[in-house]
C-alpha cells in the first residue's frame, strides 16, 4: 500500500531532467507521465496528468492501481522521487469536466 493520509492516496513518480525539460514518470502507472520547464512545473503537471489518467480509465470501467511505496535509494544521478496526491485531493470532478 502506498502512502495513505485520511482517505488520500499518494502516487510515486520519478522525476528526471532530460535536455532542458523535467520529466515525471509514475512508478505504478507506466502510461502516465508529465513534463515541465522546472521541477515545480513538472510536479504541477504530474498532478493534472494523474487526474486526467484517472478520468480516462474511468470511462473504460477501470481504476487507478493501488500506489506502492518506493525508495529513491539507488536512483540514478539527477533523478528524484516525489509522491503526487491522488485525484481525490485535486478535484477529480473539475478534471473530468476539463477532459470532456
What is the average pLDDT value for the chain, to the nearest integer? Answer: 81
CA distances from 7 to 37, 40, 55, 68, 79 (A): 31, 25, 19, 15, 29
pLDDT in tens, 43-82: 999 999 999 998 888 889 888 888 888 876 666 778 889 9
Structural contact between residues 99 and 49, judged by C-beta atoms closer than 8 angstroms? no
Q: How far apart are the C-alpha atoms of 10 and 86, rounded to whole Å?
A: 5
- Map grid coordinates 502516487 to a residue: 11
Tell whether pTM > 0.85: no
CA 48 to chain centre: 8
User: Domains in the chain, start-ordered, CATH in brackets?
Assistant: 3-99 (3.30.160.250)
Amino acid at each position: 500500500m502506498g502512502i495513505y493520509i485520511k482517505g488520500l492516496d499518494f502516487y510515486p513518480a520519478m522525476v528526471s531532467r532530460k535536455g532542458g525539460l523535467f520529466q515525471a514518470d509514475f512508478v505504478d502507472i507506466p502510461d502516465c507521465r508529465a513534463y515541465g520547464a522546472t521541477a515545480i512545473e513538472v510536479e504541477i503537471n504530474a498532478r493534472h496528468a494523474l487526474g486526467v489518467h484517472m478520468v480516462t480509465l474511468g470511462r473504460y470501467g477501470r481504476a487507478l492501481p493501488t500506489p506502492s511505496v518506493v525508495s529513491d535509494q539507488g536512483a540514478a544521478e539527477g533523478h528524484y522521487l516525489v509522491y503526487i496526491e491522488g485525484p481525490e485531493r485535486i478535484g477529480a470532478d473539475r478534471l473530468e469536466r476539463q477532459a470532456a
